[in-house]
C-alpha cells in the first residue's frame, strides 16, 4: 500500500503496483468467448500496452471492457481505473460505463455469470485495489450509485 497524502495518487500507485507489467493479450485472447462481435475492441488488436493508452483511446473505447475476455479485462483494467480516478467529473461516459462493467448485477440477472467471469483471473491484491477504488467512488455524487451496486453485487464478498 502506498503512503502518499493525496488519496488519488495513493490509489493510483496501488493500482500500478497490483497490476504489474504483464504482456498485452494476444489478438486471439482479446474477445470474450461468449461475445460474437469485436467492434468494441478493434483498436486493441496488435498488442496495445495499457500504459500507452492515452485519454482519447480510453474515451473512444469506453465500451471495450464489456467485450474483453477475462485475460484482456485484467490486463486493461488499470488503464480504466486510473482514467476514472483522474477524470471523476468528466462529461464523457467512460467512468459510468466502466463502473457498470465492474458490476455483474444480481444472480437473477441474465448476464450475471458472463459479467462475473471477467473477474476470474484477478488476484486477491488486484481485487482489493478494485474494492478500494469502488469505495473511493462511493462519495462521488454522480457515480456513487454505480460503485455501491458493484460493491454490493460482487466486490464486498470478493
Instruction: Decide: 150 and 116 in contact? Cβ < 8 Å.
Output: no
Residue 124 lies in a domain: yes
In a domain, 91, yes or no: yes
Does residue 102 belong to any structural domain of this protein?
Answer: yes
Q: Is position 119 within any domain?
A: yes
Number of folded domains that form the chain: 1
Cα–Cα distances in angstroms (integers) from residue 72 to residues 46, 118, 158, in the given order: 13, 9, 20
23 belongs to a structural domain = yes
2 occurs within a structural domain = no
Domain span including residue 38: 7-155
110-136 pLDDT, tens digit per residue, is 999 999 999 999 999 999 999 999 999
pLDDT tens, position by position, 33-64: 999 899 999 999 999 999 999 999 999 999 99
Q: Per residue in 62-117, pLDDT tens?
A: 999 999 999 999 999 999 999 999 999 899 999 999 999 999 999 999 999 999 99
52 domain-assigned? yes
Residue 1 lies in a domain: no
Q: What is the pTM of this model?
A: 0.93
Q: Is 21 exposed, middle or buried (0-12, 13-18, 19+ CB in 10 A)?
A: exposed
Nearest to 22 by CA among 126, 113, 114, 116: 126
Amino acid at each position: 500500500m502506498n503512503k502518499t497524502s493525496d488519496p488519488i495518487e495513493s490509489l493510483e500507485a496501488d493500482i500500478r503496483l497490483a497490476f504489474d507489467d504483464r504482456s498485452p493479450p494476444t489478438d486471439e485472447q482479446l474477445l470474450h468467448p461468449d461475445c460474437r462481435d469485436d467492434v468494441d475492441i478493434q483498436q486493441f488488436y496488435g498488442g496495445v500496452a495499457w500504459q500507452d493508452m492515452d485519454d482519447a483511446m480510453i474515451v473512444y473505447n469506453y465500451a471495450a471492457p464489456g467485450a474483453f475476455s477475462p485475460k484482456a479485462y485484467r490486463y486493461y483494467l488499470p488503464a480504466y481505473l486510473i482514467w476514472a480516478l483522474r477524470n471523476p467529473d468528466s462529461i464523457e461516459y467512460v467512468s459510468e460505463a466502466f463502473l457498470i462493467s465492474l458490476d455483474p448485477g444480481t444472480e437473477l440477472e441474465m448476464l450475471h455469470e458472463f459479467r462475473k467471469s471477467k473477474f476470474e483471473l484477478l488476484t486477491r491484491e488486484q481485487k482489493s485495489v478494485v474494492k478500494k477504488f469502488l469505495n473511493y467512488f462511493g462519495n462521488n455524487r454522480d457515480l456513487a450509485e454505480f460503485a455501491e451496486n458493484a460493491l454490493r453485487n460482487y466486490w464486498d464478498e470478493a
